[in-house]
Chains A and B, each alone.
Chain A
Amino acid sequence: MSNAMLSVESLSAWYGAARILYDLSFEVGRGEVVALMGRNGAGKSTTMKAIMGLIAQRQGKVVFNDADISKLEPYQIARRGLGFTPEDRRIFSDLTVLENLDIGRQPPRQFPDGAPAPLWTPERLFALFPNLAEMQDRPGGRMSGGEQQMLTVARTLMGNPLLVLLDEPSEGVAPLIVEQMANTIVELKKEGLSILLSEQNIHFAQLVSDRVYVLEKGQIQWHGTMAQLSASPDIQRAYLTV
């Protein structure tokens, strides 16, 4: 297990009296892109929020970078190098692109073996997302959904994370942007980042992910490599209903 960047053991979560997650266990290795797939309401976003400490009522163990983070506050988790991009983007609409990036800024970071984590500056991010470079001083609220989607990823990268939780990056954006997002994820993987992705769009997941966990009603129903999932239409039909 020492190879795992993120390892989740029996994670459960509740909203009020309603239980959403049932003893989830999974892991994400270093440099790996893992997709959490499943229908709407299956518990994908809740899983990410629970890992990030954003759900008050949660149980189970979350180990990130060899440290137990299950009792930490969200800001403490973020400061350990776990980045989070929420599905609803949550751009600070009154702040400009540059100011949004500044909020996400954190000091440089290293992997446990001493290797430096990718170090991000606004300049590097503008190279990755050329659209953003053209609108550095535009308030977040005056950007389109696709541009906001890029900004939310860029803002997370400003924290120089070791692993990014990417919640539904393809939801509600145009096909062209979805394609750019897929290219970005591939780029990030090359940089050595680990990514946990939640996704409903199998075409998108196929382009980027190594392994897949399929969620249904808050439980893991299937897991395997992306190749295995692509090769088994039965599983796709049963849980993803393509």
Chain B
Amino acid sequence: MSVLELRALSKSFGGVHAVRDVSFAIGKGEFLAMIGPNGAGKSTCFNMINGQLKPDSGEILCDGRNIAGLAPRDIWRLGVGRTFQVAATFGSMTVIENVQMALISHGREIYRLWRPAASHHRARALELLAHVGMEAAADRPSRELAYGDVKRVELAIALANDPKLLLMDEPTAGMGTSERHGLIELVKRLVVERGISVLFTEHSMDVVFAFADRIIVLARGQLIADGDAATIRDNPQVREVYFGTGKTFAGASA
């Protein structure tokens, strides 16, 4: 049973096909990596799923319902969470307030004008921070955090509405190797525990090969390969458009 299914999704900008006829599905609890050259249409695909872009044609089925063209906030309410390539938190708030904000929104309490926000969902927010190992920093201003920690807080925010699908755009961009693995291990553990599916894009092949259950490859807006790590690694077309000889990353056997 798939959590999300793309059917013949297409989008063009000024006559240029950014995404052409892309179809794939994500199963429940699956850790799916989307890779491909820069400009292959990964971000466009992502932004259509999360609602920032409206597809020209095709369907995006979430639990059988077509969500193509809905606003990002409505898609979030259907249980599709996301993290950003450049991690974003609310800089003027503390770490826990960031998470509380998401919980307040989840509880549809945004328009409350009286009881202080700080008294809303504090226990639940602490619990979420504990899951990502950030409970000790709960009352620190979020803008003071190191980048890796911001990514963790973002994850806690994304988990606030018990998503069934998490979209992660280059989750490890701008991180060192050990931080990379630490973060992805954490994500993997959380999603396995909760049965969340994850769709992520990534340029760090060590991460992709080590963690993804399945890999799909986009090139020039089209899906050119879909399979497990071994299949993708040995696919000559993927090698040609994306990997090259593989000498700039570990894990791709020559």
Residues of A that sit less than 8 Å from B by CB? 38-41, 142-147, 149, 170-180, 182, 200-201, 203-204, 207, 240-242
Contacts and interface: CB of A to CB of B under 8 A. Distances in A.
A95 B247 CA distance: 34
B152 to A, nearest CB: 14
A6 B203 CA distance: 33
10 contacts: A41-B146, A149-B38, A173-B203, A174-B36, A175-B244, A175-B249, A178-B244, A178-B248, A182-B248, A207-B248
A-B pairs with the 10 shortest C-beta distances?
A144-B39, A145-B38, A39-B176, A241-B178, A176-B244, A144-B38, A146-B38, A179-B244, A178-B248, A174-B37
Interface residues of B, number: 32
Given A170-B248, A182-B248, A207-B247, A240 B177 contact: yes
A238 B242 CA distance: 31
Nearest to A143: B39
Interface stretch (B3-11, B57-65, B107-115, B167-175): B167-175
A171 B85 CA distance: 13
A40 B175 contact: yes
Interface in B211-240: none
Contacts of A240: 176-177
A221 to B, nearest CB: 14
Interface string B59-78: 00000000000000000000
A7 B58 CA distance: 57
Nearest to B178: A241
Contacts of A144: 37-40
B88 interface: no
Contacts of B16: 142
Contacts of B137: none
B176 A176 contact: no
A115 B247 CA distance: 35
DSSP majority for the B interface? loop
B174 A203 contact: no
B105 interface: no
Given A39-B175, A179-B248, 10 more contacts: A147-B38, A172-B203, A174-B203, A175-B244, A175-B249, A176-B37, A204-B248, A241-B176, A241-B178, A242-B250
B205 interface: yes
Contact of B179 (A39, A172, A201): A39
Interface of B: 13-14, 16, 36-40, 146-148, 170, 173-179, 203, 205, 241-250, 252
A173 B38 contact: yes
A147 to B, nearest CB: 7
Nearest to A18: B144
Nearest to A179: B244
A172 B39 contact: no
A39 B36 CA distance: 25
Contact of B176 (A40, A142, A179): A40
Contacts of A41: 146-147
A175 B177 contact: no
Contacts of B179: 39-40
Given A40-B148, A201-B249, A207-B247, A176 B39 contact: no
A177 B249 CA distance: 12
A36 to B, nearest CB: 14
A201 B248 contact: yes
A61 to B, nearest CB: 30
Contacts of A177: 37-38
Contacts of A200: 176-177
B154 to A, nearest CB: 15
Contacts of A170: 248
A175 B38 contact: no
Contacts of B13: 142
Contacts of B242: 174-176
Given A40-B179, A203-B250, A207-B247, A176 B241 contact: yes
Nearest to B205: A175
A180 B177 CA distance: 22
Contacts of A147: 38-39
B239 to A, nearest CB: 9
Nearest to A180: B244
Contacts of A178: 244, 248-249
B250 to A, nearest CB: 6
